[in-house]
Structure 1
Amino acid sequence: MLKLKDIQTPIAQELELFEGRFKESMRSNVPLLNRITQYLIKQKGKQMRPMFVFLSAGVCGTINDSTYRGASLVELLHTASLVHDDVVDNANARRGFFSINALWKNKVAVLVGDYLLSKGLLLSVTHEEHNLLKIVSEAVEQMSEGELLQIEKARKLDIEEHIYFEIIRKKTASLIASCCACGASSVGASAEDTQLMQSFGEKVGIAFQIKDDLFDFGLDDVGKPVGNDIKEKKMTLPLIYALRNTPTSEKRRIINLVRNHSENKEKVAEVIAFVRSSGGMEYATERMMQYQQEAFDILKSFPDNRYKAALEQLVRFTTERKK
């Protein structure tokens, strides 16, 4: 089983240095802001986004100061989006910690998110990293569109497979794509290679989201509550496939369970059992591995080095991870 810490080995020093620079990029003269940003730093996850930035840079050239700024920019804008998401979702926790809005209320959380966005913009403009700013800003635009598209479709529960892929391409894959494009651009890669790395990241991001969707149907014993997507009335690939291949009367019954009984544990378990018995898990896994292979095919066009080998392992980790 792949372990993330083993994949990090080629860029261990870079990640350690990045942590210090990222903390500095969030610094403020306002004590309250510093307390909140320090609290946010404690919640750091797997550092997969900075890993994608540094490894992509290493594949395309020599990691430099611009690479660190690209990684910080991605993290600043992503962290801002998470803070705002928690306000929108009225979420009280994230990664086992209380959310900012739970501790300091919505008004403070919104302002902190705005502050982080501004720090990302200033970091880019001050150092004239306009290419990096363009890449990440486009990703934030895509993420917002993806969220709104999902909200619109969730009301009707009429998502078809091509709409599902459009949602996750925008909502999830665009961010990983921007990480890989930032890494390439930061080391002076050609426009063609930068685009290739962006496409590579998009494929990985789609595979990553499908893996998350599979967790929700009990693929593994993970922290995410089984059936959480159903409770939130989200139509994910395993369910979309299962509904597409079932008689109309049964389809209506399952949709009714999702629409009107998503808070009932027994009804949610019934939907999960339906998906598992209808081939939804197998189909979603097949599509996930298809996107992983497409990502590997793109990487073949780059010369071999230790960063490329680690990036390949990171791709495998996205589909083999247990949480």
Structure 2
Amino acid sequence: MKIVSQIKQPIEFEMELFEKKFSVAMSSKVSLLNRITHYVVNRKGKQMRPMFVFLIAKMTNNGEVNDRTYRGAAVIELIHTATLVHDDVVDDSNRRRGFFSINALWKNKIAVLVGDYLLSKGLLLSIDNNDFDLLKIISVAVREMSEGELLQIEKARKLDITEAVYFDIIRQKTATLIAACCAMGAQSVNAPKSEVESLRKFGELIGTAFQIKDDLFDYGDEKIGKPTGIDIKEQKMTLPLIYALNTASEQEKRWLINSVKNHNKDKQRVKEVIDFVKEIGGLSYAVTKMKEYQQQALQILQTYPNSPYKESLELMVNYVIDRKK
């Protein structure tokens, strides 16, 4: 966590104030809702998304933020939290960040309603303050996230995913929200349109690198320990596996598809798939791709003068691909 607190340092004050404002933004007259949202707020993760909003706003606006920046960060967090609550219902997941998920504690019906409540809170926070430009940024992101999830489900059934489709899925599923955070930070301080777009692209590049790193965790390495093979068990098509399928002979390809489709619960077979993907160069290919995205993101930052905010964003880009979990 040391690196995260280092990244946070130049926005320490803003993040503390944000947490107070965020709790207020979630409040309701219904005590059950307050109990649940209190549970959510107290189990927050590293809060990367609001950090992106504040760092970008300060980097582009001479270290200054305004009320719109706080509202932008709160809208992102409200709507992101709503999607997580709904995701846990969709995935039938009982845990979230090591704690029980809302659906595990309060059942699916309540979880869906809480997600709807948080979504409406986010929309109203923007509408009540005439932040229609900020609302558009996050609404586009939510639409893309839903499309990305559905595209992945559609493709997973056939295992016929190409590298281009893979990048399309992760751009929508993962990268679009980080892109929205960066665009939100710039837009909240009324940066020019071209700059907002450039920083949206910056977020998209980091988000893509982040997802490739997640793919690599499934294969493990010396630092992480044992490979998990969870993505293979869930028939998720990740970059190392796609590369292996594209590079393998017809016979190997048939064996791979058969393994992922019909033997994905067989531990020995999953281990054989992992070993094959490593041997054929799937991991090193994915690492190369991840570093390309990292470098492109850093290049965008190079156009800005040195500042503590720029330094934190550089640390963030490097943290995304160096993290251990």
Match of 1:142 in 2: 144
Please say if residues 220 and 226 of structure 2, whose CA atoms lie closer than 8 Å, have aligned partners that are also in contact: no
How many corresponding residue pairs? 323
Amino acid at match of 1:44: K
Measured against aligned partners, the alpha-carbon deviations of 1:166-223 in whole angstroms (never above 9, x if no partner) come to 0000000000000000000011100010001100000000000000100111136559
Match of 1:57 in 2: 57
Match of 2:25 in 1: 25
Amino acid at match of 1:52: F
Match of 2:167 in 1: 165
Measured against aligned partners, the alpha-carbon deviations of 1:232-263 in whole angstroms (never above 9, x if no partner) come to 10000011111111111111111111111112
Match of 1:278 in 2: 280
Deviation at 1:303, TM superposition (A): 2.5
Match of 1:115 in 2: 117
- What does 1:255-274 align with in structure 2 at a 5 Å threshold? 255-274=257-276
Match of 1:191 in 2: 193
Which 5+ residue runs of structure 2 have no aligned equivalent? none
Please say if residues 171 and 207 of structure 2, whose CA atoms lie closer than 8 Å, have aligned partners that are also in contact: yes
Measure the CA separation in 1 of the matches of 2:272 and 2:228: 12
Deviation at 1:51, TM superposition (A): 0.8
Matched, 1:103 2:105: yes
| Corresponding residue SS for 1:156 | coil
Measure the CA separation in 2 of the matches of 1:64 and 1:263: 52
Amino acid at match of 1:58: K
Measure the CA separation in 1 of the matches of 2:253 and 2:170: 23
- Cα 1:4/1:239, change in 2 over 3 Å: same
Measure the CA separation in 2 of the matches of 1:72 and 1:223: 37
Please say if residues 216 and 228 of structure 1, whose CA atoms lie closer than 8 Å, have aligned partners that are also in contact: yes
Please say if residues 219 and 227 of structure 2, whose CA atoms lie closer than 8 Å, have aligned partners that are also in contact: no
Please say if residues 177 and 198 of structure 1, whose CA atoms lie closer than 8 Å, have aligned partners that are also in contact: yes
Q: Structure 1-normalised TM-score?
A: 0.97
- What does 1:38-117 align with in structure 2 at a 5 Å threshold? 38-61=38-61, 62-117=64-119
Higher RCO (CA 8 Å, separation ≥ 6 residues):
1
Measure the CA separation in 2 of the matches of 1:137 and 1:94: 24
Q: Structure 2-normalised TM-score?
A: 0.97
Measure the CA separation in 1 of the matches of 2:80 and 2:132: 18
Matched, 1:234 2:236: yes
Measured against aligned partners, the alpha-carbon deviations of 1:20-67 in whole angstroms (never above 9, x if no partner) come to 111111101101001111111122111110111111101111211111
Measured against aligned partners, the alpha-carbon deviations of 1:115-172 in whole angstroms (never above 9, x if no partner) come to 0000000100111111110000000000000000000000000111000000000000
- What does 1:202-241 align with in structure 2 at a 5 Å threshold? 202-219=204-221, 222=224, 226-241=228-243
Moved more, 172-181 or 5-14: 5-14
Please say if residues 231 and 237 of structure 2, whose CA atoms lie closer than 8 Å, have aligned partners that are also in contact: yes
Amino acid at match of 2:271: A
| Corresponding residue SS for 1:85 | helix
Taking only aligned residues, the RMSD between alpha carbons, in angstroms, comes to: 1.5
- Cα 1:115/1:8, change in 2 over 3 Å: same
Amino acid at match of 2:293: Y
Amino acid at match of 1:164: Y
Measure the CA separation in 1 of the matches of 2:192 and 2:272: 51
- Cα 1:27/1:192, change in 2 over 3 Å: same
Please say if residues 145 and 170 of structure 1, whose CA atoms lie closer than 8 Å, have aligned partners that are also in contact: yes
Which 5+ residue runs of structure 1 have no aligned equivalent? none
Matched, 1:36 2:22: no
| Corresponding residue SS for 1:219 | coil
Choose which of 153, 156, 164 in structure 1 pairs with 2:155: 153
Measure the CA separation in 2 of the matches of 1:317 and 1:187: 26
Deviation at 1:270, TM superposition (A): 1.4
Measure the CA separation in 2 of the matches of 1:297 and 1:23: 36
Measure the CA separation in 2 of the matches of 1:187 and 1:223: 44
Moved more, 206-215 or 12-21: 12-21
| Corresponding residue SS for 1:3 | helix
Deviation at 1:304, TM superposition (A): 2.3
